Structure 1
Amino acid sequence: MGIKAFFHVLRTTRRLILISALFFCASIVVGWLSTGTIQSMLTQQVEGLGGVAQRLQNSEHPQWSFFVFIFFNNAIKCVLVIFAGALFGIVPFIFLIVNGMVLGFVVHLQADMGRSMYEIVVKGLLPHGVIELPILIIACTFGLKFGTNIISTIGASIGMKRKGNGPSWKDFLRQTLTVSIWSVIFLFIAAAIESGITYRLLSH
């Protein structure tokens, strides 16, 4: 369960993490270039987030409110997306793509509003994103792995694969628990940075 175990798990899953990262980057490009129906969907997502941000900003202690919301929202979603991967990996795949598209769309929208890329990326995204985005990708990766293991197990049970070739669920669930715990810890740090450093940088 230690940090060494966490990074060992990441090393053993690095190929799938890389594939997830490529899908995420591709979805950012799609979000940046979005038009029509996709643009309408992303606009609704952004407007919803904007409404939440406005309510948090108007609270008695805005930075604390942002921290609590960001941490619990991200932590709950990341843990859920890992275990929702049991539904054949569909949920984490959609979560990965949608979040990438929203990110690309928001960056493009901010650029169109006249903000510099330095302000958007370096001040608004990089401080917390350097932790938050990799954790999002890792969570989705393990959700996808959960789905592929389910498919492999079903395949083995109906004779499509040899039973000995199925996944070791004991090892996988131990790895998943390790990833879940450390994801929450890192998201706590990211939320503290976003509600502290990022909040202050964008307020000036």
Structure 2
Amino acid sequence: MAILSFWNFIKGLGSNKGYMLSAAVLFIAGIAIGAVRAEDLQQLLLSQLEGLQSVSKSLEQSDHVELSFFTFIFLNNAIKSIAVILLGAFFGLAPIGFLLLNGMVLGFVVEVAHRQGENITELIFLGLLPHGIVELPAIVIACGYGLKFGGLVIGSLFSLGAGKRDRLAARWEQGMKEMLNAAIWIVILLFIAAIIESTFTYHLLR
């Protein structure tokens, strides 16, 4: 498998569509929970948002605002996405939690904005869609590979006998190549999303 092959990246998504679909469903479920249970989750999710708000205010004070936002957004998303793939080795728990929490934050923000009478269409199409159309799929894909990593670990625990071990070794080799190639393309996609968010989205929201 050639590293930096976009075609192999796409093929990997197809061969791991079960994990990708599971990741997407978990993220959508998180959005629904955040919107429906906004009041119950207020304290938990506000702490997440307040942390981002304080970072945003400090970045606004920098000499090069757009560059500061780009650097923070890109590094934050890229590091978390790679981490969630690697931490998926712990039975897939990290990507599950990451998808649900981030989905709940997004659902909570949209629901609160709706209750406050803000223009939801404007929020989605100006504040989320320009960069989110690249960023959100990249994050879901990263979590999908985190789930795959967890699946490989769980499969290893139940593989006994020489024949099964040989098949498992082949799965691990293929899986690690797919995850490495995917990680590179995920970072590239997040780089593009960070450019859009720190420039286009930033000025639209202002």
TM-score tier by shorter-chain length is over 0.9
Give % identity.
43
Match of 1:166 in 2: 168
Answer yes or no: is the 8 Å Cα contact 1:156–1:165 preserved in 2: no
The residue matched to 1:125 in structure 2 has which SS? helix
Alignment of 1:43-122 (within 5 A): 43-122=46-125
Q: Is 1:28 matched with 2:31?
A: yes
Q: Quick one: distance in 1 between partners of 2:125 and 2:194?
A: 17
Match of 2:158 in 1: 155
Partner of 1:182: 185
| Runs of 4+ displaced beyond 4 Å | none
Structure 1 residue 113, shift from structure 2 partner: 3.0
Give the AA of the match of 1:178: N
Is residue 85–residue 143 contact of structure 1 (8 Å, CA) maintained in 2? Answer: yes
Tell me the secondary structure at the aligned position of residue 105 of structure 2. Answer: helix
TM-score, normalised to structure 2, is: 0.92
- C-alpha contact 2:38 2:111 (8 A) present in aligned 1: no
Q: 2: CA distance between counterparts of 1:7 and 1:113?
A: 41
User: RMSD of the alignment, in Å?
Assistant: 1.6
Is 1:14 matched up with 2:17? yes
**Distance change in 2, residues 1:188/1:35 (3 Å):** closer
Correspondence for 1:40: 43
- Unaligned 5+ residue runs, structure 2? none
- Cα deviation, residue 54, structure 1: 1.1
CA distance in 2, matches of 1:162, 1:173: 18
Q: Is the 8 A contact 2:95 2:146 kept in 1?
A: yes
Q: Is the 8 A contact 1:89 1:146 kept in 2?
A: yes
**C-alpha deviations, 1:8-44, integer Å up to 9, x for none?**
1111112221121111111101001225552210111
Structure 1 residue 186 displacement after superposition: 0.4
Q: Distance in 2 between matches of 1:96 and 1:102?
A: 10
Which AA in structure 2 matches 1:163? Answer: R
1:130-164 deviation line (CA, Å, top 9, x unaligned):
0100011100010011001101011114x6x9435
Query: 1 CA distance for matches of 2:38 and 2:191?
Result: 35
Question: Which deviations, in whole Å up to 9, do the C-alpha atoms of 1:145-188 show, x marking residues without a partner?
Answer: 1001101011114x6x9435536211111000001000000000
Correspondences of 1:125-136 after superposition (within 5 Å):
125-136=128-139
Give me the whole-angstrom Cα distance separating, in 2, the residues matched to 1:153 and 1:174.
Answer: 17
Number of aligned residues? 201
Q: Which is worse superposed, 104-113 or 130-139?
A: 104-113
Structure 1 stretch 8-17 or stretch 171-180: which is displaced more? 8-17
